[in-house]
Structure 1
Amino acid sequence: MRVAVEGGDLAVEVHDGGTAPVLAIHGVSGSRKLWNWVATHDITLVTPDLRGRGDSSNLAGATIKQHADDMVRVLDALELDSATVAGMSMGGYVAVDLAVRYPDRVRALVLVDGGLPMPAHAQLTEETLTAVMAPQLAARQRTWTLDDYLAVHATLNPLTDVTDPLIREYYAHDLTADGHLRLSAETLAADTKDVVFGSSRWQELTVPTWFVHAEWSTGPDSPPAYSVERAHAYASELAVLHEPVLITGVDHGGTVMTAAGAAVTAEVLAEALKHAAN
């Protein structure tokens, strides 16, 4: 479906399941297909392509605040007064902003390896961030076949299974018919800077919140985005934050893009949905 927002419209997919709807928000370079693995667990998911990505790639103007405002329009279009909201990576920061500025629209919040300050961000500068983003921006300049695109991501994401049909569907959604990326360079840069250098309002959260985090960042034994100690420190600082859930044996993307990670994330979502229904 298409949902009217400021400046155009968003593409939104609804996965019918056996639960109340969950508004699920993807990460900075992802798309709505990120949630396909979680959808296999009979959870009703509302999954938008955010501005500048996938079927919303022609819609300009991105900030965390703008994305959150767009999510309100999605809830309005589906006639949902409120919903449980999940956000992965950058989507977690969007979900936090949504819950802080529109708390009546969020029944419960599930943050997946994002949304809370990442210690690594404190070490980044404008120059180092530009260098980190360079490969993603350069990828927009070439023409891809799906197999070539998958091969690159198999190297970057060693824990994902390129033979998985859902992986192929996820990465195929990134490409136009002629093999170009459906990802706005301007949006990618703006959103990444907003996440890294912006101010998260997580300490203002008032809705019940769950936090799921990965053992690694990219591949086995890589430093995680959130250590166990840091995750528990956040829980001690925020009364509405439930006990953090560590997913072992997965990295950042694997929290939702592997069968093992999606199973744990779906279990936490089920807990949040149950809490929201009471």
Structure 2
Amino acid sequence: MALNWVMLNPQRKFVPLPGERILLTSPSRTTLSLQTPNSYPGKEPLNISSSGGTAYITSQRIVYLPASPTPQLQSFSAPILNLQDTHVESPFFGANSWTGVLKPVAGGGIPPHHAYIKLSMTFKEGGAFDFATSYEQLKETITQAVEVARESGRQQGESDLSDINLEQLPAYEDIGNTTAVSATPQPPIQQPTPITPTATPSYTPQLHSRSTLSSAEGDESSSRRPDQQYPPPDEPPPGYEEAQQQNNHSVVDNLERNLRISK
């Protein structure tokens, strides 16, 4: 933050710094108030104000030029990263204001015992939210550029932003977001095709003359075709002779028993 350090041309327009570009200009009826915060009263409170003027957001700083300069306030400027807790205040009556806390720069015209200064701009003709949005976006971009410069070893200062090219800065990423966004487009997700239920074929159990079948016989019977013909066996099945002898003995025993009973 600096007072009366902005270079002006004969038309009372400020002269840009090297590589500086104007990003936003407020309406001409914008007020400015610089006061010592209540939490930092100090011995000599600061109270500087302007009832009307124009505020600018550039690629490096915020500039304010009063419509009616005074010896106390002819111009005002503040580096982008020297502002904290900036927000818009919307009263029930009156115009919206953009406020924040400023950290003065050394030799900027502010007494050194003022560690922080409260800034307030009232936009009587509108534009407070546009001003706040433009400032927040620029601050995020510059903050990221400074961090990248520090990691690369260039040690870019917070107040020296002339070497930063805003056109080639990477897109801002939220630190709290752990999901990385890939630049390669992903193919659309294929939705599963719904399966139409089909009628379940009815099953009719087959009755067999034999009570049990071995696994080998079951496999063989399942592989047979209805129209397939098989020759008759040449030998009796296993256990056929024993079964016949038992049957013959049973018949003889029954016949003898009946004869004894009849006598």
Same fold (TM over 0.5): no
Q: Whose RCO is larger (CA < 8 A, sep 6+)?
A: 1
Q: Which has the larger radius of gyration?
A: 2
**Whose strand proportion is higher, 1 or 2?**
2
The TM-score with structure 1 as length reference comes to 0.21
TM-score (norm 2): 0.22
Q: Is the helix fraction higher in 1 or 2?
A: 1
